[in-house]
Structure 1
Amino acid sequence: MADTRPAGTADRPAATGTLTIRYFAGARAAAGRTEETASAGRCLDELLGELSARHGDRLAAVLRAASFLVDGVTCHDRQAPLPAGATIDVLPPFAGG
């Protein structure tokens, strides 16, 4: 059977139905953890709403200013569906950057 996954994803593990969210710097402090999972099947804006509700105003403020990588690539379309098995990196503004 042919591999029907999008180009460049053949080496990624099969979709698991979850997303991995990794927090860096101030996002890590605001979330109180370095990493967590969430269910797939939504866009970035929807995911951010869930994370804000889950962790409160402090993380919500960080998320408003953060940049996001989806599987290592800058996310420019926050309404695009996030693929199951993806890793979302939350990168708040860094001092001096």
Structure 2
Amino acid sequence: MPTSLTVRYFAGARAAVRGVSSEPAVATSLDELIQLLTDRHGERLGLVLKSASFLVDGLSCHDRHAPLPTDATIDVLPPFAGG
């Protein structure tokens, strides 16, 4: 069953969604969320999401197939420049 989420965008991800800092979404996994957000905002965001890291309620999530908890906050962190 799809889960209500809050998606927060940072750096290049925020630029790809034209300055939106957060928005609601409904998805069961990160894979589903990535597809939903790409459909919603276009391929520019889709490219960012392919290389982004994701925090689920503040914890790094590497399994894009894992079920997302209800009412989770998903932070989208694109790769950062620098070292």
TM above 0.5, yes or no, is yes
Is there any run of 5+ residues in structure 2 with no aligned partner, and where?
none
Percent identical: 66
**TM-score, normalised relative to structure 2:** 0.91
Find the counterpart in structure 1 of residue 26 from structure 2: 39
**C-alpha offsets along residues 28-79 of structure 1, whole Å, 9 cap, x if unaligned?**
0101211000124x11001100000000010000001100000000002111
- Any residues of structure 2 matched to 1:77-92 within 5 Å, and which? 77-92=63-78
The structural deviation recorded for 1:21 is 0.2
Work out which of the two has the higher radius of gyration on C-alpha atoms and give 1 or 2. 1
Q: CA RMSD in A?
A: 1.0
The amino acid that maps onto 2:25 is A
Matches within 5 A, 1:1-97: 17-32=3-18, 33-40=20-27, 42-97=28-83
Q: Say which structure is richer in helix.
A: 2
1:13 is matched with: none
- Structure 1 segments unaligned to the other structure (5+ residues): 1-16
Structure in which a larger fraction of residues adopt strand = 2
* Equivalent pairs, count: 80
Moved over 6 A (4+): none
